[in-house]
Amino acid sequence: MKLTQLFKEKTETLSFEVFPPKDGKNYDSVKSATEEIAKLNPHYMSVTYGAGGGTGEYTVEISRNLQENFGVISLAHLTCVNSKREVVWERLRQLREAGIENILALRGDLLPDAADPSEWDYHYASELVSEIREFGGFCIGGACYPEGHVESEHSKDDIRHLKEKVDAGCQFLTTQMFFDNNILYNFLYRIREAGITVPVVAGIMPVTGANQIKRICQLSGTYLPQRFKAIVDRFGSEPAAMKQAGIAYATEQIIDLLANGVNHIHIYSMNKPEVAEQVQKNLSEIIR
């Protein structure tokens, strides 16, 4: 099923993100973790695509396994930066052969050893969206950034680029993680004013370890509310307590989002079945 159809049929959805292994050595353990999450029967699962496309084949394999053997709709990530057009089209053919109907189209991270930008076939996610649309047959999603993309100086420019991506054929959007729901509500108001009307899925990260926070801030500069900082300060040195507190904080975020009409929730579960399961249990009477 294409996710646009799922969003029409289901008032609320809960989904999980997993990532493939970096190499074959860890494939079995990663595959097992994704299968444990699939057994929770989420509405769909997304499978990430390694930097520079390094895990592309594993993305296809895991997406296929989740869909064929567990009946879970798969959303395969696909990045384009530093990729050649023939490589992208080959990956699209592989996804089609695997029965995958949904793709999250991303530019991808800029790597230090990437080729000269003048040699790239793609520079922006909107170009990949257009390419997938030309290929045909896929439901296309994209990323959005409630706090603005780290490379955009002005939020107006960021929203303008987002509109270009939607106009190119992006049919739904998934947000980067955020920890203050008011940031998302403000963002939704601004993009609706700009004419972006596609479904927006809220991306939530249950923080289960203090080290995650350092990495999150380094990569995206995400704003951390004082209430959240206090939780990390108090429980960050106690792993079990931090996990419980982080899941509780994420659950409260989700309940508030649902109460305010944000009906589609995507959990960055980091291949942790126990985290996915606990979040789902906390919402068992809220999202069925």
Q: From the candidates 17, 101, 127, 147, give the one annotated as an active-site residue.
A: 17
**Closest listed residue to residue 179, CA positions, set 228, 216, 246, 143:** 228
Distance between alpha carbon 185 and the CA centroid of its chain, in Å? 18
Q: How many residues does the chain have?
A: 288
Count of CB atoms situated within 10 Å of the CB of 134: 10
The Cα–Cα gap between 145 and 182 comes to 14
Beta-bridged to residue 14, according to DSSP, are 265
The residue written with tokens 């350092």 in the block is 214
What does 132-159 look like in DSSP terms, one character per residue? Answer: HHHH-S-EEEEEE-TT--TT-SSHHHHH
- CB 166 within 8 Å of CB 191: no
- CB 271 within 8 Å of CB 21: no
User: Is 97 an annotated catalytic residue?
Assistant: no
- CB 74 within 8 Å of CB 66: yes
- CB 169 within 8 Å of CB 132: yes
Angle, helices 273-282 vs 27-38, to 10°: value is 10
Which residues are annotated as catalytic? 17
